Amino acid sequence: MFSIPFLDIAALQSATGTVQLPGSKSISNRVLLLAALCEGQTTVLHDVLASDDTDAMLTALQTLGCEIERQAQQVRITGLDRQSLPAQAQLHLGNAGTAMRPLTAALALLVGPGQAFELTGVARMQERPIGDLVDALRQLGCAIDYLKNPGFPPLALRAADPQKLQASGSIQIRGDVSSQFLTAMLMALPLVAKERDYVIEVVGELISKPYIAITLNLLARFGIVVRNDNWQRFTIAAGSRYQSPGQLHVEADASSASYLVALGGIASDPALGQAITIEGVGEDSIQGDIRFIDAARQMGVHVETGPNWLRVQRGQWPLKAIDIDGNHIPDAAMTLAVMALYAEGTTRITNIASWRVKETDRIDAMVNELSKLGAVVDSGPDWISVAPPAADAWRSASIATYDDHRVAMCFSLAAFNPASVAVRIEDPRCVGKTFPDYFEALFALAQPKPNAVPVICIDGPSASGKGTLAAHVAKQLGFHVLDSGALYRVAGVAARQRGLDIAPEHAPALADVARSLQLVFDGERVLLDGRDVAAAMRSDAGSRDASLISAIPAVRDALLQWQRERAALPGLVADGRDMGTVVFPDAPLKVFLTASAEHRAERRYKQLISQGFDVKLASLREELEARDLRDTTRAVAPLKPAVDAKVLDNSDLSVAEATEQVLQWWRQAYAGAAFATLGHD
Ligand X SMILES: Nc1ncnc2c1ncn2[C@@H]1O[C@H](COP(=O)(O)OP(=O)(O)OP(=O)(O)O)[C@@H](O)[C@H]1O
Q: Which is nearer to ligand LCLUPRNS, 550 or 650 (CB)?
A: 550
Mark whether 331 is an active-site residue.
yes
**Using the rule CB under 6 A, is 484 a contact of ligand LCLUPRNS?**
yes
| Cα distance between residue 549 and residue 240, in whole Å | 77
The answer to whether 480 and 572 are in contact (CB under 8 A) is yes
**Using the rule CB under 6 A, is 594 a contact of ligand LCLUPRNS?**
no
**Using the rule CB under 6 A, is 655 a contact of ligand X?**
yes
Amino acid at 323: D
User: Of the ranges 114-122, 448-456, 600-608, 630-638, which one interacts with ligand X (CB under 6 A)?
Assistant: 600-608
Per-residue binder mask for ligand LCLUPRNS (CB under 6 A), 616-655, x = binder: -----------x---x------------------------
Taking alpha carbons only, the member of 645, 640, 643, 644 closest to residue 591 is 645
List, in order, residues 6 or more apart from 452 with CB less than 8 Å away. 10, 11, 12, 13, 420
Q: What's the half-sphere exposure (Cβ side, CA atoms, 13 Å) at 658?
A: 26
Q: DSSP assignment, residue 363?
A: H
| Cα distance between residue 645 and residue 529, in whole Å | 36
Q: Which is nearer to ligand X, 177 or 487 (CB)?
A: 487
Query: CB 292: neighbour CB atoms within 10 A?
Result: 26
Candidate list 485, 492, 570, 588; residue touching ligand X; CB under 6 A: 485
Candidate list 101, 603, 621, 667; residue touching ligand X; CB under 6 A: 603
Amino acid at 494: A
Taking alpha carbons only, the member of 484, 472, 551 closest to residue 517 is 484
Residues belonging to the chain: 681
Q: Annotated binding residue at 25? A: yes
Backbone phi and psi for residue 327, each to the nearest 5 degrees, phi listed first: -60, -35
List, in order, residues 6 or more apart from 39 with CB less than 8 Å away. 79, 80, 81, 82, 242
The entry of ligand LCLUPRNS, ligand X, none near residue 464 (CB within 5 to 8 angstroms by kind) is ligand X
The distance of closest approach from Cβ of residue 651 to ligand X in the complex, given in angstroms and rounded to an integer, is 8
Query: Burial level of 251, CB count in 10 A (0-12/13-18/19+)?
Result: buried
Per-residue binder mask for ligand LCLUPRNS (CB under 6 A), 451-470, x = binder: -----------x--------
The distance of closest approach from Cβ of residue 512 to ligand X in the complex, given in angstroms and rounded to an integer, is 25
**Using the rule CB under 6 A, is 463 a contact of ligand X?**
yes
Q: Annotated binding residue at 164? A: no
Q: Annotated binding residue at 17? A: no
Binding residues with ligand X: total (CB under 6 A): 16
**Using the rule CB under 6 A, is 472 a contact of ligand LCLUPRNS?**
no
Q: DSSP assignment, residue 614?
A: -
The distance of closest approach from Cβ of residue 630 to ligand LCLUPRNS in the complex, given in angstroms and rounded to an integer, is 7
Q: DSSP assignment, residue 128?
A: S
The entry of ligand LCLUPRNS, ligand X, none near residue 581 (CB within 5 to 8 angstroms by kind) is none
Closest residue to ligand LCLUPRNS in the complex (CB): 485
Catalytic residue chosen out of the listed positions 47, 331, 403, 578: 331
Query: CB 108: neighbour CB atoms within 10 A?
Result: 28
Q: Annotated binding residue at 406? A: yes
Q: DSSP assignment, residue 73?
A: T
The answer to whether 573 and 459 are in contact (CB under 8 A) is no
| Cα distance between residue 514 and residue 492, in whole Å | 9
Candidate list 208, 313, 462, 594; residue touching ligand X; CB under 6 A: 462
The distance of closest approach from Cβ of residue 188 to ligand X in the complex, given in angstroms and rounded to an integer, is 57
Torsion sign across C-alpha atoms 653, 659, 662, 663: negative
| Cα distance between residue 7 and residue 260, in whole Å | 19
Q: What's the half-sphere exposure (Cβ side, CA atoms, 13 Å) at 121?
A: 26
The entry of ligand LCLUPRNS, ligand X, none near residue 280 (CB within 5 to 8 angstroms by kind) is none
The entry of ligand X, ligand LCLUPRNS, none near residue 577 (CB within 5 to 8 angstroms by kind) is ligand LCLUPRNS
Amino acid at 293: I
Query: CB 652: neighbour CB atoms within 10 A?
Result: 9
Backbone phi and psi for residue 13, each to the nearest 5 degrees, phi listed first: -115, -45
The answer to whether 253 and 49 are in contact (CB under 8 A) is yes
Q: Annotated binding residue at 30? A: yes
| Cα distance between residue 658 and residue 639, in whole Å | 20
**Using the rule CB under 6 A, is 603 a contact of ligand LCLUPRNS?**
no
The answer to whether 355 and 361 are in contact (CB under 8 A) is yes
User: Of the ranges 88-96, 300-308, 480-488, 528-536, which one interacts with ligand LCLUPRNS (CB under 6 A)?
Assistant: 480-488
The distance of closest approach from Cβ of residue 126 to ligand LCLUPRNS in the complex, given in angstroms and rounded to an integer, is 52
The answer to whether 349 and 299 are in contact (CB under 8 A) is no
User: Of the ranges 112-120, 172-180, 327-335, 544-552, which one interacts with ligand LCLUPRNS (CB under 6 A)?
Assistant: 544-552
Candidate list 464, 547, 550, 581; residue touching ligand X; CB under 6 A: 464
The entry of ligand LCLUPRNS, ligand X, none near residue 488 (CB within 5 to 8 angstroms by kind) is ligand LCLUPRNS
Candidate list 5, 169, 467, 638; residue touching ligand X; CB under 6 A: 467
**Using the rule CB under 6 A, is 489 a contact of ligand LCLUPRNS?**
yes
The entry of ligand X, ligand LCLUPRNS, none near residue 578 (CB within 5 to 8 angstroms by kind) is ligand LCLUPRNS
The answer to whether 655 and 469 are in contact (CB under 8 A) is yes
Candidate list 280, 326, 478, 576; residue touching ligand LCLUPRNS; CB under 6 A: 576
Residue ranges of the binding site: 25-26, 30, 97, 128, 178-180, 208, 331, 358, 362, 406, 433, 460-468
Active site residues: 331
Residues that bind ligand LCLUPRNS (CB under 6 A): 462, 484-486, 488-489, 546-547, 550, 576-578, 627, 631
Chain residues binding ligand X by CB under 6 A are: 462-468, 485, 603-604, 607, 650, 653-655, 658
